[in-house]
Each structure stands twice: as C-alpha cells, then as structure tokens.
Amino acid sequence: MRTVEVVAYDDRWPEMFREEAAKIREAVGGAVRDIHHIGSTSVPGMAAKPILDILVEVDRIESVDARCSRMESLGYEARGENGIPGRRYFCKGGDKRTHHVHVFQQGSDEVIRLLAFRDYLMAHPAEAAAYRDLKRRLAERFPADIAAYVAGKDAFVKALEQRALAWWNARRDSEKYGIDEKRG
C-alpha cells in the first residue's frame, strides 16, 4: 500500500536528479533531447513527497517504446501513457516510490505545462509556501490514502497551473518582443 509522506526539502535532491538523469540518458540513448528535474523536489526549499520527478524530452515519442527494457534494467516499471496521451511513464520503487519519469516528445504542450509550473513556484515564494502548506495538511489528514491526497490538491494545482502558464506566456512574449517587464 502506498502511503503519503511529505518531508522537508532535501539538499541532496538536485544531485540525486543529476545522477539518475545520466543513467536515463544512457538507457534511452540518442532519442533524448533534454532532461529536466520537475515537481516539488526540484523547487529549492519546497516540502515534497521524497519522489524525484524527471521530465525527459525526446525527438520522437515512439522511439522510447523500443527502449523500455533499458529503463526496466534501471529498476523502472513501464506504464505506457498512464492516462496522459503522448506520454511514456515510468516509476521506480513499487509502493515505496523513489522516481517518476515522464517522457514527452519535444515541443509537447505537456512539457511547457510542467516546466511552467516548476519555474513559477521558484519565482513566486508565496505561492510555493501555500502549496507546501496544503501538501503537509493533506499528508497529515490522508497518510494512507494517496487518492484522497491527490484529490485534495486537484483544484489548487489546476488554478496554480493556469497562473503559471499565464506567467510563462507573458515572459515568453516579453522576451520575444523585447518588453521590459518592469516598465510594462
């Protein structure tokens, strides 16, 4: 049975990500375009479930299918799309999960959504603190019910994602058109 544990930020998470990313890059090979640390463990100071979320961008999503056995040799379980079209999902650790790997084709809207969410939390400490506090409350309330924990975050996360995407797009537009955000 999966339990819900939210822990304080661990300074080792970035290095653990780098080590695992190198293994994944070797396993998936030339299809990899980029690998990103995402999720709460990627946000300095953020409390999180101690599970590293890793985003892998590949040139063609189908290229990953032929490499599932390589991911399995690293201890991952292949779960196919697992509810998100165009994704290949891998998890490690069984009921005591240690890693989630989300593979998308480069340029996917899902890649933008995940990176925007991460970067927004890094740039908005008050939003990150509100998210952290919610996760802690839910973990205390539902320590043995991962589904209730996830459901409890759903509305908050969806609203946060919308703000993150708006912020991401505004930044992209300001860079594209050379707008100084401080001057408008």
List pLDDT tens digits, range 64-121.
999 999 999 999 999 999 999 999 999 999 989 999 999 999 999 999 999 999 999 9
Predicted local confidence at residue 173, as pLDDT: 73
CB-CB contact of 14 with 5 (8 Å): no
Predicted local confidence at residue 179, as pLDDT: 59
| Alpha-carbon gap, residue 54 to 138, rounded angstroms | 23
CB-CB contact of 122 with 45 (8 Å): no
Residue written as token pair 């995407």: 165
Domains annotated on the chain, with CATH: 13-177 (3.30.460.10)
Question: Looking at residues 43-68, what average pLDDT do you find?
Answer: 95
Give the pLDDT band of residue 130 (cuts 50, 70, 90). very high
pLDDT tens, residue by residue, 12-31: 999 999 999 999 999 998 88
